[in-house]
Amino acid sequence: MRFTAILVAAGSGARAGGEVPKQWRLLAGRPVARWSLEALLNAGCEEVVVVVPPTDLELAAKAFAGLGRWRAVAGGAERSRSVANGLAALSSDAPAILIHDAARPFLARRHVDGLLAALQQADAALPALPVADTLKRAQDGAVTGTADRDGLFRAQTPQAFRADLLRRAYANLAAGATDDAALVEALGGVVVLTPGDPMLMKLTYPEDFPMAEHLAGSARRTRVGQGFDAHRWGPGEAVWLCGVEIAHDETLMGHSDADAGLHALTDAILGALSLGDIGDHFPPTDPQWKGASSDRFLRHAADLAAQNGARITHVDVTLICERPKIKPHRLAMRARVADILGLDIAAVSIKATTTEGMGFTGRGEGLAAQAIATLDTPA
């Protein structure tokens, strides 16, 4: 189901204390609010409106640098006011809207998928955890009673809504609402629970931050993509391989510059992102890519990775040919690829092999390239 999201980050974080509001504090090196934004983008969200304190619009631009499909608007004095501002700023007509607390950084694609699935049969869905601890009522430190916890759940976010009903619920918003689902309940909407997750914890108190630092490592995923490409040899005087032009007595034939190394690598990155292949993004039938320099394709794949909150951690390319000799050019190729991807040269490996005269590469009909890309992505 197509969906958009409102990420509420306009609170002052009074209970958490600290020098900056909790949504801007760093968690494993990244601002708290950035974690959720990356996760929403990675889960396929069409548009995210991030609601921030009116004074923090510039801070937001810095915290979310490089990410795509988001914009920031100013929030209100109460959370529900902030949501209302976000709702007014959403421009997409997607049928589902998620509302998420920026203070819950460990959002993952699986949470979003579960909510969207539940929304097929309901007007709203939210993750919730059964209350596991015994509930005591107390006054001034003295117990006055034990409450029945049966049937009680702790509501988390994101909360997912059918867009039309959410807009109706917010059309006549009264002050004091803390939970968006409650507004839909009041309209008689069907609201269902999906399994909650301790990872959806909200950073509320100072002591939540050390715990979150411990959990941060388990909230990212390593994804691997592979790519393959081959081009035919033809008459020419030079060949482009891995972004470097090499003098040679033949060239590779193709619609673009036929750099099979960069094409395989572009496909490997797209593969790790599950975003199709190079032909989807740069159709060979499109005249604008005729003779195109393949570093543009690779740059595009790297931009897509960044926009979706992923980081390329390592790439490894194997060129398969009898000629030309690759070894003398390997360092220049690694430097060029590292430059295109904005990586350290140590994160770029380029290897070559022959097939000992066998097959199309062995007979000198063409050159083949394989690539593997490793990406660190939101869970």
Judged by beta carbon distances under 5 to 8 A according to partner kind, the member of Mg ion, ligand CTP, none in contact with residue 77 is ligand CTP
CA distances from 188 to 83, 165, 183, 371 (A): 20, 10, 9, 54
Counting residues that bind ligand CTP (by CB under 6 A) gives: 22
Note the residues at the interface with Mg ion (CB under 5 A).
Answer: 11
Shortest distance, CB of residue 113 to ligand CTP, whole angstroms? 22
Which one of the spans 70-78, 118-126, 229-237, 317-325 is the region binding ligand CTP (CB under 6 A)?
A: 70-78
Per CB under 6 A, does 353 bind ligand CTP?
A: no
Angle (nearest 5°) at CA 221 between 216 and 225:
155
Query: Which DSSP symbol is given to 83?
Result: H
Shortest distance, CB of residue 86 to ligand CTP, whole angstroms? 8
Per CB under 6 A, does 23 bind ligand CTP?
A: yes
How many Å apart are CA 65 and CA 62, to the nearest integer?
5
Closest residue to Mg ion, judged by C-beta, is 11
Which one among 38, 56, 101, 180 touches ligand CTP, defined by CB under 6 A? 101
Judged by beta carbon distances under 5 to 8 A according to partner kind, the member of ligand CTP, Mg ion, none in contact with residue 184 is none
How many Å apart are CA 15 and CA 32, to the nearest integer?
16
Judged by beta carbon distances under 5 to 8 A according to partner kind, the member of Mg ion, ligand CTP, none in contact with residue 103 is ligand CTP
CA distances from 154 to 71, 193, 307 (A): 30, 10, 33
Q: Closer to ligand CTP at the Cβ: 16 or 59? A: 16
The DSSP H or E segment spanning 261 is helix 260-272
8 Å CB contact between 311 and 235: no
First to last CA, the chain: 19
Q: Closer to ligand CTP at the Cβ: 33 or 340? A: 33
Q: Closer to ligand CTP at the Cβ: 15 or 136? A: 15
Q: Among 250, 232, 263, 172, which residue's Cα sits nearest to residue 366?
A: 232
Binding to ligand CTP (CB under 6 A): which residues in 45-64? Answer: 51
Beta strands in the chain (DSSP E): 3-8, 26-27, 30-31, 48-52, 70-74, 96-101, 124-130, 135-139, 142-147, 153-155, 159-162, 191-195, 220-235, 238-241, 244-247, 250-253, 311-320, 348-353, 366-378
Which one among 69, 89, 167, 204 touches ligand CTP, defined by CB under 6 A? 204
Per CB under 6 A, does 175 bind ligand CTP?
A: no
8 Å CB contact between 98 and 46: no
Per CB under 6 A, does 109 bind ligand CTP?
A: no
- One-letter amino acid identity for 61? A
Per CB under 6 A, does 36 bind ligand CTP?
A: no
Per CB under 6 A, does 103 bind ligand CTP?
A: yes
Shortest distance, CB of residue 28 to ligand CTP, whole angstroms? 18
Q: Closer to ligand CTP at the Cβ: 53 or 227? A: 53
CA distances from 160 to 139, 191, 342, 348, 378 (A): 36, 9, 37, 41, 20
Per CB under 6 A, does 250 bind ligand CTP?
A: no
Query: How far does Cα 122 stand from its chain's mean position?
Result: 27
Per CB under 6 A, does 13 bind ligand CTP?
A: yes
Per CB under 6 A, does 10 bind ligand CTP?
A: yes
Judged by beta carbon distances under 5 to 8 A according to partner kind, the member of ligand CTP, Mg ion, none in contact with residue 362 is none
Tokens 């108190």 sit at which residue? Answer: 205
Which one among 48, 72, 73, 79 touches ligand CTP, defined by CB under 6 A? 79
Which one of the spans 9-17, 206-214, 318-326, 328-336 is the region binding ligand CTP (CB under 6 A)?
A: 9-17
- Report the interface residues with ligand CTP, using CB under 6 A: 8-16, 23, 51, 75-79, 82, 101-103, 202, 204
